[in-house]
């Protein structure tokens, strides 16, 4: 029995392996550093409305992440932006 090497399969395997290694390397090498900010406000009415606070900070590049309420009237939002 004679062993034959299929050149096409070997080249295709080498290319596929290189693509996988480069993809994994590219995905793990870019890591974003974030800074976070907690913004308090009233969540229904009032002078310090939480939605207005979120919108004001969004103009400065902050992204909304999450919100929660602390009491019946007060709430807070967590914002983030890429650390400079």
Q: What is the pTM of this model?
A: 0.58
Runs of H (alpha helix) within the chain: 7-29, 50-59
48 in any annotated domain: yes
The number of domains in the chain is 1
77 in any annotated domain: yes
- 51-71 mean pLDDT: 87
Give me the torsion for CA of 63, 69, 70, 76, rounded to 10°: 20
- DSSP classification of residue 8: H
58 in any annotated domain: yes
Question: Using one digit for the tens of pLDDT, what is the confidence trace for 5-56?
Answer: 566 666 666 676 667 767 765 555 567 889 998 888 877 665 668 888 889 9
Distance CA 83, CA 36 (A): 9
Domain that holds residue 62: 34-82
Tell me the two tokens of residue 79.
């914002």
Distance CA 63, CA 83 (A): 12
């Amino acid at each position: 029995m004679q062993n034959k090497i299929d050149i096409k399969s070997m080249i295709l395997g080498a290319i596929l392996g290189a693509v996988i290694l480069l993809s994994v390397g590219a995905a793990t090498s870019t890591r974003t550093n974030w800074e976070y900010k907690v913004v308090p406000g009233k969540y229904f009415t009032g002078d310090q409305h939480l939605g207005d606070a979120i919108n004001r900070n969004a103009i400065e590049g902050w992204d909304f992440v999450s919100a929660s309420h602390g009491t019946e009237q007060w709430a807070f939002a967590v914002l983030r932006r890429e650390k400079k």
